[in-house]
Structure 1
Amino acid sequence: MYQEERLIGVIQFLKEKRRISIDQMCDMFDISRDTARRDLVKLEERKAIVRTRGGAILPRTQDAIKDYSHRLNTVSYEKQQIGSKAASFIRPGDKIILDTSTTVQACANQIPASEVTVITNSIHQAEILSNVENVSIQLLGGYLQKEHQFLYGASVIERLKNYHVNKAFIGVVGISEQGLTIAHEEDGMVKRNMMKQAEQVIVLADHTKFGRTEFFSFAVLADVDVIITDRLPGGDFQSLLKDFDVDLIVTEEEGTDPWT
């Protein structure tokens, strides 16, 4: 087999399995370890892979998280529906936490003008709610993540410890049997501490987030009380949520019980 054929085979394998080892390459193509390493060097030179100890993975640019300003302009109808349902959980007098995600932003856009106290580390959420009558905003100060417009760091986490809230609304990049995951560790550390300060944790996740695992894990399913989504996930995942006593609300199937 020619090298180019092997390189194509490696990329196809990575798209399906996400990572490949040198031993797997040797078995797949009946080649030596030195040949496998040379193939990986060639792919790395083309920026098609990232070499790891003993193998390779696809570069993160293959599944890059879009910058926040772009995502703000592409909030889908499904996320708007999730946000609307989430906003319906908020009662006058509630004290709530909103994280930085665009799905939680869809909730912020639909919070009614009532006596609500909002704690957030998101500049965008604070800006949206600054125009809503009777909503009090506590913006957590810290280091500014410029690309995604959120505040993070030890000062944010320390200040969070002073608050006790009724509900925390949390977005994710991935939700799976491994729990809740996000692309940025600093964002995940803040989310983790937001959840600790809430009586009820409500996760907002459209159907594309199920079965996906991102870089940083910030919570397990046992930490979640409610998940609001737009489509019913697969049966295995429904069973997993039921095992952890997580209530599932599906906007696509309003008026139905997802556990029946």
Structure 2
Amino acid sequence: MLAGVRHHKIKEMVDERGTIRVTELSQLLGVTDETIRRDLERLEGQGKLYRTHGGAISAKQEEDDVPHFQREVINKEEKIIVAREAIKLIEEGDIIFLDASSSALYLARLIPDMRLTVLTNSIQICVVLSGHSKIQVISTGGNLSARSMSYVGQVALNTLDSYYVDKLFFSCKGLDEDWGISDGNELQALVKQKIIERATKRILLLDHSKLGKKAFARISSCACINTIIVDSKTELDKLGFLKDQGTEILLPRLAKEAH
């Protein structure tokens, strides 16, 4: 089979399934794993897919992701209140990771110019913190996701292998007792999976609309959450399973309730 034909078939299969492994492709196409890895590297360079450890993900997933400017205005007030509670957990000298969620972006906008190291895959967060002389900002780099204004892919994952963080602040598309923490985009889910492994304390920023939801790509079980910050519209009885496992639950009030 000619390389061009093989590349076309690989892209078709990845787009159809969303994700596929190297070993499966090598069996289906009758070539070695090494040949498939070279094919995936070439196709990633052409922007047709994203490589992962052991396989590939369709680049079409980005088309289903909500653009960053739309995510910012969804439940905006609740996200700001959650961010105001989260800022209380950041201490001088911390090494933190902020993901590419709108909740983390609102948190970044509240961070004062203090001695801090911030690792992120969000371009917007890098811009927000660029004027803070005391904050060291480190970007993962990687493949640019224009819809989320963030970096994803193997380069971003490789970068995270080199770092440790004290505190991870992240959000998700869904939190379900059985399915766990999940995201609508597998590329973002992989970044979150990797940084969860590198963080000592994992802090989930969640507005009430995400509770009880299952999104496409599973990030982790709920057992990884050390602290969850939710808005006051959250039905606390739905968080009982987190309380039982020892997760700290923080419930800040909405601005209209605080007056």
TM-score with structure 1 setting the length:
0.70
2: CA distance between counterparts of 1:247 and 1:232? Answer: 18
2: CA distance between counterparts of 1:171 and 1:238? Answer: 16
Q: 1:103 aligns to what? A: 103
Task: Tell me how large the CA RMSD over aligned residues is.
Answer: 1.8
2: CA distance between counterparts of 1:208 and 1:84? Answer: 18
Q: 1:195 aligns to what? A: 196
Q: 1:208 aligns to what? A: 209
Judged with a 3 Å threshold, the aligned counterparts in structure 2 of structure 1 residues 214 and 132 are, in CA distance, closer, same or farther, namely same
Which of 1 and 2 has greater Rg?
A: 1
1: CA distance between counterparts of 2:74 and 2:116? Answer: 27
Cα displacement string for residues 154-208 of structure 1 (whole angstroms, at most 9, x for unaligned residues): 1111111111111000111111111111110000000111111111000000111
Tell me, yes or no, if the aligned pair for 2:85 and 2:229 is still in contact at 8 Å.
yes
Offset at residue 66 of structure 1 (A): 3.0
Tell me, yes or no, if the aligned pair for 2:117 and 2:135 is still in contact at 8 Å.
yes
Structure 2 unaligned spans of 5+: 1-63
Tell me, yes or no, if the aligned pair for 1:167 and 1:202 is still in contact at 8 Å.
yes
Amino acid corresponding to residue 105 of structure 1 in structure 2: L
2: CA distance between counterparts of 1:145 and 1:152? Answer: 7
Offset at residue 235 of structure 1 (A): 5.0
Cα displacement string for residues 102-134 of structure 1 (whole angstroms, at most 9, x for unaligned residues): 011111010111000000000011110112231
> What does 1:118-129 align with in structure 2 at a 5 Å threshold?
118-129=118-129
1: CA distance between counterparts of 2:238 and 2:132? Answer: 37
Tell me, yes or no, if the aligned pair for 1:75 and 1:102 is still in contact at 8 Å.
no
Q: 2:134 aligns to what? A: 134
TM-score with structure 2 setting the length:
0.70
Amino acid corresponding to residue 101 of structure 1 in structure 2: S
Does the alignment pair 1:244 with 2:245?
Answer: yes
Amino acid corresponding to residue 188 of structure 2 in structure 1: D
Amino acid corresponding to residue 246 of structure 1 in structure 2: T
Q: 1:152 aligns to what? A: 152
Tell me, yes or no, if the aligned pair for 1:205 and 1:229 is still in contact at 8 Å.
yes
Tell me, yes or no, if the aligned pair for 1:75 and 1:103 is still in contact at 8 Å.
no
Tell me, yes or no, if the aligned pair for 2:78 and 2:254 is still in contact at 8 Å.
no
Q: 1:186 aligns to what? A: 187
Offset at residue 211 of structure 1 (A): 0.6
2: CA distance between counterparts of 1:210 and 1:96? Answer: 25
Amino acid corresponding to residue 248 of structure 1 in structure 2: I
Offset at residue 65 of structure 1 (A): 5.2
Answer 1 or 2: higher relative contact order, Cα 8 Å, separation at least 6: 2
Q: 1:82 aligns to what? A: 82
Amino acid corresponding to residue 78 of structure 1 in structure 2: E
Tell me, yes or no, if the aligned pair for 1:232 and 1:250 is still in contact at 8 Å.
no
2: CA distance between counterparts of 1:69 and 1:246? Answer: 31
Judged with a 3 Å threshold, the aligned counterparts in structure 2 of structure 1 residues 175 and 74 are, in CA distance, closer, same or farther, namely closer
Judged with a 3 Å threshold, the aligned counterparts in structure 2 of structure 1 residues 95 and 235 are, in CA distance, closer, same or farther, namely closer
Amino acid corresponding to residue 192 of structure 1 in structure 2: Q
Offset at residue 243 of structure 1 (A): 2.2
Does the alignment pair 1:223 with 2:218?
Answer: no
Structure 1 unaligned spans of 5+: 1-63, 255-260
Judged with a 3 Å threshold, the aligned counterparts in structure 2 of structure 1 residues 73 and 243 are, in CA distance, closer, same or farther, namely closer
Q: 1:162 aligns to what? A: 162
Judged with a 3 Å threshold, the aligned counterparts in structure 2 of structure 1 residues 239 and 75 are, in CA distance, closer, same or farther, namely closer
Q: 2:92 aligns to what? A: 92
